[in-house]
Amino acid sequence: VTSAVEALHSIKAFLSEYLIQEFDYKDWCRVCGKASEKVLEDEERWGRFVEDNLVKDLRFASGLMLRLAVSVARDFGLKPGDWKDINEACGNAVRTVPACYQLQRGLPGALSRARSLKHVPVLAFEDLNPWKSQEGREAFEREHNIGWSMIEAVTAKDGKPRSGFCGVFSVADVANHDGMIWIHLRVVRESGKAPEGFPPNVVKEGDTYVWEVDTAVGSLLERGFFVAGSFVLLESEVCFMT
């Protein structure tokens, strides 16, 4: 960035692309001295640190971009309409960037991961598959912080996979359902290939699907978000992300 104007026009990409997809929070904490090496290298302590600090640090970054935009607009005498989109992007980012950052790294989530390990052929023989060993179940619980008994109860009536599909979807609704969360997806467009090993289902704009997720994922999603991914539809009429 070589000028104030270029900085202003880079804000939206910084918020929607860099902060969500490329930003290395751990490395940033190391460079800035925000966390000690003991914290950075200890998985449990680092996890607590992230839980306590990540959201507020990402919100700070979003707020900093708004202050930058205001300064440039003031110094160059810009009218509100000249940078309205940037102002709105900064305002939305305070809420959405922390959620999208976590989704980018946390998807598909515990419930979809469990269903993939059960139904996706290539994953069936994965080491520590929780469907095949107690050791695997204990490892799954540690990694996802969710009881395996709950996973078994939720998936008991799944039935067999019916089809696979892939695309870009908008979140039309978010609803609690028996301890889990149903994300109502509406197709924006088909994109990519359907998961291998399942009859492909051609999706069309406007089609709707119910994606069942655990609360760790569902609490981050909200109406208006966009999700791109590959899914498998089950006989129970819910789908999971692969």
Confidence band for 215, pLDDT divided at 50, 70 and 90: very high
CA 158 to chain centre: 23
The pTM (predicted TM-score) of the whole model is: 0.90
The predicted model gives 20-43 an average pLDDT of 96
Count of C-beta atoms within a 10 Å radius of residue 114: 26
Residue 179 has pLDDT above 90, yes or no: no
DSSP string covering 101-142, please? HHHHHHTT-HHHHHHHHHH-GGGTT-TT-TTT-HHHHHHHHH
Write down how long the chain is.
Answer: 242
Q: For the segment 123-135, what is each residue's pLDDT rounded down to a tens digit? A: 878 889 999 999 9
CA distance 172 to 189: 14
Angle ∠(225,116,164) on CA atoms, nearest 5:
70
Residue 61: the pLDDT is 95
Count of C-beta atoms within a 10 Å radius of residue 129: 18
The predicted model gives 100-112 an average pLDDT of 97
Residue 122: the pLDDT is 86
Residue 69: the pLDDT is 95
The proportion of the chain whose per-residue pLDDT surpasses 70, expressed as a percent, equals 100
The predicted model gives 191-202 an average pLDDT of 92
The predicted model gives 185-192 an average pLDDT of 96
Distance separating the N- and C-terminal Cα atoms of the chain: 38
The predicted model gives 107-119 an average pLDDT of 97
Q: At 54, which helix (H) or strand (E)?
A: helix 43-75
Check residue 17 and report its DSSP letter. Answer: I
Confidence band for 1, pLDDT divided at 50, 70 and 90: confident
Residue 172 has pLDDT above 90, yes or no: yes
Check residue 193 and report its DSSP letter. Answer: P
